[in-house]
Amino acid sequence: MITRGMPVFSASLGINGVCDVVEFHKDIAGVELFGREGKYMPYPIEYKRGKPKESDIDILQLTAQAMCIEEMLCCKVEIGYLFYGEIRHRQKIVITSEYRSKVREITEQMHMCYNRQYTPKVKQTKKCNLCSLKDLCVPALGRFSTVEKYITKMIDED
């Protein structure tokens, strides 16, 4: 069974999002799903346009999705997949305790910034234009010393 655009959340991590795809494979060690007979193991799959990155950022996103699914379905997600469109390859990812720890650390830092009402500076790159969070992040703000200067520039352009 395949679910596309599956909303996920974790109350313990304080995050939510949407999985591109979650495959549910029949497995006696899995979980029961409403309206389905038997037990199923969930496998999150994250689709990326490009190719694998040198950093672990895609793996951490997948790990966060797996941790959300675990909390929602009361199960253990040990494997997920990254599909890279540029190389048309699906890469199996083992969700390790190291990745889980790093996700916990990042979400804690995120909540500390939020609680302090601090927005970290972001370095705008050409990839920003393809990002689904562009309108929330507003990377162009980082080029201005004040919000007032940014708003003035935007008004002047209109």
Return the amino acid letter for 24.
F
pTM: 0.80
Q: What is the mean pLDDT of each run of 10 residues along the chain (158 residues)?
A: 91 94 92 91 94 92 97 95 92 96 96 86 78 72 66 74
Instruction: Report, in angstroms and rounded to the nearest whole number, the Rg of the chain calculated over CA atoms.
Output: 19
CA distance 76 to 71: 9
Q: Is-contact 23 42, C-beta < 8 A?
A: yes
3-state secondary structure of 25: strand
Cβ atoms within 10 Å of 42's Cβ, excluding its own = 28
**Residue spans per domain, the chain:** 2-120, 121-158
